[in-house]
Amino acid sequence: MLYNLLVPLSEYWSALNLFKYITFRSIGATLTALLLSFLIGPWLIRSLQKLQSIGQPIRSDGPQRHILEKSGTPTMGGTLILLAMAVPTLLWANLTNPFIQMVLATTLSFGAIGFWDDYRKITRRNSKGISARMRFFLQSLIALLVAYTLKSLDPGNLFGALSIPFFKNLAVDLGLFYFPFAILVIVGTSNAVNLTDGLDGLAIGPTLFTAATFLIIAYVTGHSHFANYLGIPYVAGAGELAIFCGAMVGAALGFLWFNTYPAQVFMGDVGSLALGAALGTVGMITRHEIVLAIVGGIFVVETLSVIVQVASFKLIGKRVFRMAPIHHHFELKGWAEPKIIVRFWIISIILALIGISTLKIR
Ligand code: 57M
């Protein structure tokens, strides 16, 4: 909004030219998100505690430690994350940019699905929530809408191909498969973050590192000189997503302040589903879906561990892991929770660096 209001006034006061720069507005969004998180966080956690008498319903079949140590922790802290992402984006981004409108709408609608799921769990005092089928149907509908909008926005067959990293301007045309592909990327990332969110800070850390990586990717993808120099597809207007990613970094850092071990609050599905959808949508718009899978490798491994576990159990009646997702496996091996979390963060940072390197290695 500030961009739309203040840049036209820069002819009267040249200092307002600052608001033209995506770098300046990205930093503004990050700091605003952080400030909002610190200002609202304590009050919101107290409110969630009052509203949720028993807090997050802890499943009985999980690691027994969770029942002892985590009962009573309030959930739905994701409402803080979404607030700290949406307000700075509305404040600092160019609101006429269709990609900003799309990524905000997608993030908030996945957040609404998660809110409904969390609300059901709390009011019914069990960890069931809405049916997986209903959740997948609603998520897929939104993902298809994103794909359709990208195709209709398409200036010149920009969207519809899968860019291959490490090769200059190499892309595979997906044709109609672009639509199920959008479901795979957006709904897949959303549920992968959801599965990962099973230990204090375990999901928000990799989300932070992924958002920071895509702040850089969005900036260079939306910059014709950099895109041309790096040999990556130029997506006019994608640079504004750097401001959204900046807000996401600030909101994630702010939430981590309260979610770090031992967590005062869990993000809930309202947070995990929304954050994953946000990353998936940014990955689609910047045409860096494979790089998203690399940078978000922790989310991929967590999901694969569940698929392997369920498949193995169904096919040969044996478990591959002591428990899936894989963070529970390490818990049952006796690793302390902070040790699992920080080691997953270290791997996530390494994957983020590899992701950034794909911009240059072509
Ligand atoms: C999302 N939710 C956490 C919290 C968070 C198919 C199967 C793998 C599904 C999976 C599942 O139910 N996943 C749901 C993970 C839950 O966290 C809540 O959910 C939100 C995220 N969506 O924000 O509100 C619990 O995680 C712990 N937690 C923390 N700190 C945090 O910051 O400690 C969360 C955030 C919280 C808290 O204890 O209650 C979760 O784990 O459910 N199911 C599982 O992951 C279960 N695995 C399983 O069934 N494995 C089977 C088969 C099916 C693969 C097997 O290995 O044989 C495990 N999860 C739990 N109990 N809780 C084991 C059973």
Residue 39 backbone phi and psi in degrees, to 5: -75, -40
Q: Which ligand 1 atom lies nearest to the CA of residue 323?
A: 56
Residue range of the domain that includes 134: 2-357
- Total number of domains in the chain: 1
**Ligand 1 centroid – CA 328 distance (Å):** 9
Q: Which ligand 1 atom lies nearest to the CA of residue 75?
A: 24
Q: Is 362 part of any domain?
A: no
**Ligand 1 centroid – CA 142 distance (Å):** 24
> Is the pTM higher than 0.75?
yes
pLDDT in tens, the chain (362 residues): 888 888 888 888 888 888 899 999 999 999 999 999 999 999 999 999 998 876 666 666 777 766 667 778 999 999 999 999 999 999 999 999 999 999 999 999 999 999 999 999 888 877 778 899 999 999 999 999 999 999 998 766 789 999 999 988 789 999 999 999 999 999 999 999 999 999 999 999 999 999 999 999 999 999 999 999 999 999 999 999 999 999 999 999 999 999 999 999 999 999 999 999 999 999 999 999 999 999 999 999 999 999 999 999 999 999 999 999 999 999 999 999 999 999 999 999 999 999 999 999 88
Q: Which ligand 1 atom lies nearest to the CA of residue 114?
A: 22
Q: Is 104 part of any domain?
A: yes
Q: Is 151 part of any domain?
A: yes
What are the structure tokens assigned to 357, written together?
């390197």
Atom 18 (ligand 1): residue with closest C-alpha? 268
Report d(CA 133, CA 95) in Å as an integer: 34
Q: Is 45 part of any domain?
A: yes
DSSP string, 217-272: HHHHHT-HHHHHHHT----TTGGGHHHHHHHHHHHHHHHHHHHSSSPS---HHHHH
**Ligand 1 centroid – CA 128 distance (Å):** 11
Return left, alpha or beta for 72; rule: phi > 0 is left, psi -120 to 50 is alpha, else beta. Answer: left
Q: Is 153 part of any domain?
A: yes
Asked if residue 193 has its Cβ within 6 Å of ligand 1, the reply is: no
